[in-house]
């Protein structure tokens, strides 16, 4: 798998995982879990953008 594709897939995975943690934190009224989910979601978006940039640079 190309590096750009791997970054995009991992980014999407982390973004989804972060969204789930964020929702779980809201449901259980756990601000720490909610913040952790928000951070992971943002990190996933960044990683996904890195993958997109790598794809553009590979061409």
* Residue 20 pLDDT: 97
List the Cα angle 10/13/14 in 5-degree steps.
90
* Residue 43 pLDDT: 95
Q: What is the DSSP letter of 28?
A: T
Q: How crowded is residue 8: how many other Cβ atoms within 10 Å of its Cβ?
A: 19
As a whole number of angstroms, the distance between CA 28 and CA 40 comes to 18
* Residue 27 pLDDT: 97
Structure tokens at 43: 């990190």
pLDDT above 90: residue 58 = no
pLDDT above 80: residue 1 = no
Q: What is the pLDDT of residues 20-29, one digit of tens each?
A: 999 999 999 9
Q: What is the pLDDT of residues 44-55, one digit of tens each?
A: 999 999 999 988
């Amino acid at each position: 798998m190309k590096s750009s594709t791997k970054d995009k897939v991992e980014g999407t995975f982390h973004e989804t995982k972060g969204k789930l943690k964020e929702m779980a934190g809201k449901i259980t009224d756990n601000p720490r879990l909610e913040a952790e989910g928000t951070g992971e979601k943002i990190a996933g978006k960044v990683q996904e953008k890195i993958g997109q940039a790598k794809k553009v640079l590979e061409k």
